[in-house]
Amino acid sequence: MAEHPDAALVRKGYEAFTTGDMETLRSLMTADCTHHSPGSSRMSGHFKGADNVLEHFGQLMELTNGTFRVEERGIYPDGRGHVMSVHKWHADRGDRGIEMDGGLFFTIVGGKVADVDECVADIEESDAFWDQAAAG
């Protein structure tokens, strides 16, 4: 059975993110794509526009000295323009590491990602990780 096109799109996005292929990632998003990150940390908020979303992803890498990584665990389309994905993310920052389950809820319009809502297993722990002072 062939993979649903929306699931294939999200899978391609995970692969591009994992390999740092920002041009491919950009090509998968609408120009006005929005990414919503939970919590109240420096990495929380609403990032509108492909450039701002990619800048947000760059910050994940910058703040973790390139250690931020995601392991995709499942991709589930609804056949009506939405895809839910689940993953585990890992990162090191300063003298602290984190490993947490999370997920993304995608809205697909015209074969491209238009909106992404991010969820994490523990918002308070995620906030604490991103807001800690980085060790020199």
Q: Where are the domains of the chain?
A: 5-131
- How much is the pLDDT for 48? 98
Q: Which residues pair with 83 in a beta bridge?
A: 77, 106
- How much is the pLDDT for 60? 96
pLDDT band at 94 (very low <50, low <70, confident <90, very high): confident
Alpha-carbon distance of 125 to 123, in angstroms, equals 6
- How much is the pLDDT for 119? 98
Q: Nearest CA to 42 among 64, 19, 67?
A: 64
pTM for this model (two decimals): 0.93
Decide: 41 and 126 in contact? Cβ < 8 Å. Answer: yes
* pLDDT value at 71 more than 50: yes
* pLDDT value at 135 more than 90: no
CATH 3.10.450.50 fits 5-131, yes or no: yes
Q: Nearest CA to 89 among 106, 76, 102?
A: 102
- How much is the pLDDT for 132? 81
* pLDDT value at 13 more than 90: yes
- How much is the pLDDT for 134? 52
* pLDDT value at 111 more than 80: yes
Alpha-carbon distance of 96 to 112, in angstroms, equals 36
* pLDDT value at 24 more than 80: yes
pLDDT band at 79 (very low <50, low <70, confident <90, very high): very high
